[in-house]
Amino acid sequence: MNKNLSLLTDFYEFTMSNGFFAKNMTTRQAYFDVFFRRIPDNGGYAIFSGLEQVIDYIKNLKFDSDDIDFLKNTNKFSEEFLEYLSKFKFTGDVWAIPEGTVVFPNEPLITVRAPLIEAQILETFILLLVNHQSLIATKSSRIVASAKGRPVMEFGARRAHSIDAAFLGARAAMIGGCVRNILYINCERI
């Protein structure tokens, strides 16, 4: 991934964090679990996927000068909070189950322990990564099971919303049991 995706989140993650900062809660520890409440199609299980991208996001999360300028121009944040963000580095801990694991409703998939602001800022992006990729891995797993041993290939790039969606979807489909198709293997080598 290695792109700066720090502002790809819900705006309220920043307004909440600014409030925590104003109340001197920068060191207050918080925990949150990523889980789902039900399986929409009553399929009985889901397959967890997206962890590799979550880790990459957390390791590379920073706010560059363009990000700070954008937030400053909203006139919603204190100068002190923006200075805090300019030096932002995730210092918390993350626990997760392995990708490809069969999971069930209300089971923690990822647990984050971090200072409150750090945990708050992660929320939206973690949900984006885990929800979409777990959906694809789960559907792929069910299709592979229905194929009864015959190989199943994914061709999601034909309908994906972006290049990243195509690669991440293909990756999640393989976690769910699909075999690689030739196009993906060639793209992976580029």
CATH of the domain at 54: 3.20.140.10
C-alpha span between 33 and 44 (Å, rounded): 21
Q: Considering the domain boundaries, does residue 126 fall inside one? A: yes
Domain of residue 45: give its range: 11-189
pTM, two decimals, is: 0.83
- HSE-CB for 27 with a 13 A CA cutoff: 0
Q: Give the tens place of pLDDT for each residue, 70-103.
A: 999 999 999 999 999 999 999 999 999 999 999 9
In this prediction, residue 180 has a pLDDT band, given cuts at 50, 70 and 90, of low
pLDDT for 182: 43
Q: Considering the domain boundaries, does residue 44 fall inside one? A: yes
Q: Considering the domain boundaries, does residue 93 fall inside one? A: yes
Q: Give the tens place of pLDDT for each residue, 2-60.
A: 467 888 888 999 999 999 999 999 999 999 999 999 987 888 899 999 999 999 999 99
Q: Considering the domain boundaries, does residue 5 fall inside one? A: no
Q: Considering the domain boundaries, does residue 114 fall inside one? A: yes
Q: Give the tens place of pLDDT for each residue, 106-134.
A: 999 999 999 999 999 999 999 989 998 99
Q: Considering the domain boundaries, does residue 3 fall inside one? A: no
Element (H, E) at 170: helix 163-175
Number of independent structural domains in the chain: 1
Q: Considering the domain boundaries, does residue 1 fall inside one? A: no
Strands 110-115 and 29-34: antiparallel
C-alpha span between 61 and 57 (Å, rounded): 6
